[in-house]
């Protein structure tokens, strides 16, 4: 049976530390799949003008493409070159909720994130979002320094 590890990346050095820990853990486990995830923080409750709403879908698709190109694809290429079984995805939404939902949908065994960031994912997650992730996840959450 394959173990699935969800690894949250932020596009910075801190995400690389989470990825390094995930690789080390996968090496110890053996048959393992790494699911690399980047969450573009987005709230459906923000107030916007009608013009902004009209452009929102286009911007969302551009953000997903950019995150895939700059964060997910390079991470996957490196993992596959090293012989790891890996997939990647980009989602929009609340970081903690998105990672929890992905872990549930993918029947993941663990979520790995970083606790400190130069900006982005881990910086946002180390406040109430970290608590929410740890408290709401149905699988263990490892927070890497």
- The pTM for the full model equals 0.85
pLDDT in tens, 54-80: 787 788 889 999 999 999 999 999 999
pLDDT in tens, 9-24: 988 888 899 999 999 9
DSSP 18-49: HHHHHHHHHHHHSSEEEEEEEEEE--TTS---
Query: What domains can you pick out in the chain, each with its CATH number?
Result: 27-144 (3.40.50.620)
């Amino acid at each position: 049976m394959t173990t699935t590890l969800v690894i949250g990346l932020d596009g910075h050095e801190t995400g690389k530390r989470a990825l390094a820990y995930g690789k080390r853990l996968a090496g110890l486990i053996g048959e393992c799949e790494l699911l690399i995830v980047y969450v573009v923080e987005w709230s459906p409750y923000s107030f916007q003008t009608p013009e902004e709403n009209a452009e929102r879908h286009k911007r969302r698709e551009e953000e997903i493409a950019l995150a895939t190109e700059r964060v997910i694809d390079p991470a996957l290429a490196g993992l596959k070159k090293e012989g790891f079984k890996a997939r990647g995805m980009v989602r929009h939404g609340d970081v903690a909720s998105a990672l929890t939902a992905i872990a549930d949908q993918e029947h993941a065994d663990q979520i790995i994130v970083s606790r400190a960031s130069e900006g982005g994912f881990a910086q946002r997650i180390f406040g109430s979002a970290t608590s929410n992730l740890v408290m709401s996840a149905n699988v263990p959450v490892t927070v890497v320094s």
